[in-house]
Amino acid sequence: MPHFVYYLSENSEVHARRGAIIIDALLERSSQCTITVVHGNMLALLERQLGHWGERVSFRLYRDGLSYKYGKDGFTIDVVEMRETYMAFSEKFPELVEQEAAFLKEVGADVVISDIEAVAFPAAKDAGIRSIGISNFTWHTVYSDLVIEDAGVLADAYEQMDKWFVLAGGHREPAWGDRVNAGWFGAPTQEKRIKSLRKRWFGTHPNKQVVYVNFGELMRDQRLPEEWTKHKDTLFVVSSGFLTGSENIVPVPRKELHPQDYLAACDWAMTVPDWQTVSNAVLSHVPMRLLGHANAIDDVRLNTVCVNAEYGSTHLIESTQGINDIPFVAPHYKHREVTNRLKDIIDNILEYT
């Protein structure tokens, strides 16, 4: 009975949501495996999404990882605070590795998976356990770009991973482990439900285009620009925040477990480049206008991948005001078949047990 310990960075819902997709698929494929999820601020979300597995999933709170830090406006990256966080993290890191190695031995872990918490890899090495990294970026890349040129503690940690599943957008990351190009993946969509959603929307709003809007966690209170809401031929499906002010707005329920169905039912999307939303759009052939953070290297790289593949148009903004300058028209898009790599990822993970 293999036991996985799955570390998830607490930077945003992205790590938690895509981790939940893989955990769900692992438990469904291998009836004997159990998983301990190690995470911080989104633990309640994970418990809600994975609670139906009962005792096969356990949860452990971990609050010592790295993340982006933001100023009072909730959008500007606070480089000073990130530097202070990194220095404190570096000093404490040997203690964290010792703590996590002891935990892994205590729970009898067989394989460690991390998206993309650095401590997991040296801890697994010290505990004599194989490790897998899954992400489109690492905190070494982020902190080296923004904070400190040689983030040596992070480089040393990531170099200890055994296998490295590189998701779309991570093509410029170093070869930390045995590299596997994992591309795009997502939870399967439900065609019957997608048709039902469109029928419901068009029943009350005939002859309208349906646009999915996702401003992400950083802009939860951002209202739709007035210029957009003037488009009476548009129904807005909003996935985050408290976007109000128009009768043409349909919110995705906050506790919705299958948001990919809402996205797949739309004609095109205006979204921040959070990885799972972008992946779902690519797999469902939904054209995108991406609103990337100009100073976030993972946003910049993911935007580049999408524009090169003609999945839509990309825009890099330096403040929330930049949203108002983005044209509200469907983006250029080139249809192409893209494989959902979820099955391949699960196959590769299970080969390690």
CA distance 163 to 101: 18
Domains 3-184+341-350 and 191-325 share a fold: yes
User: pLDDT digit of tens for each residue in the chain (353 aa)?
Assistant: 899 999 999 888 899 999 999 999 999 999 999 999 999 999 999 999 999 999 999 999 999 999 999 998 888 999 999 999 999 999 999 999 999 999 999 999 999 999 999 999 999 999 999 999 999 999 999 999 999 888 999 999 999 999 999 999 999 999 899 999 999 999 999 999 999 999 999 886 677 899 999 988 766 667 788 888 888 899 999 986 555 556 788 889 888 989 999 999 999 999 999 999 999 999 999 999 999 999 999 999 999 999 999 999 999 999 988 998 999 999 999 999 999 999 999 999 999 88
How many residues comprise the chain?
Answer: 353
Long-range contacts of 230-237 (CB under 8 A, 24+ apart): 231/328, 233/207, 233/208, 233/209, 234/208, 234/209, 234/210, 235/201, 235/205, 235/208, 235/209, 235/210, 235/211, 236/211, 237/201, 237/210, 237/211, 237/212, 237/213, 237/262, 237/263, 237/265, 237/266
Query: Are the CB atoms for 132 and 113 separated by under 8 Å?
Result: yes
**CATH fold of 191-325:** Rossmann fold (3.40.50)
**Which residue carries 């797949």 as its tokens?**
264
What's the whole-model pTM score?
Answer: 0.96
Distance, CA of 184 to CA of 10 (rounded, Å): 21
Q: Is the dihedral of CA 238, 252, 257, 198 positive or negative?
A: negative
CATH topology for the 3-184+341-350 domain: Rossmann fold (3.40.50)
Helix (H) or strand (E) holding 18: helix 13-29
Listed by start position, the domains of the chain span 3-184+341-350, 191-325
Residue matched to tokens 């004609």: 267
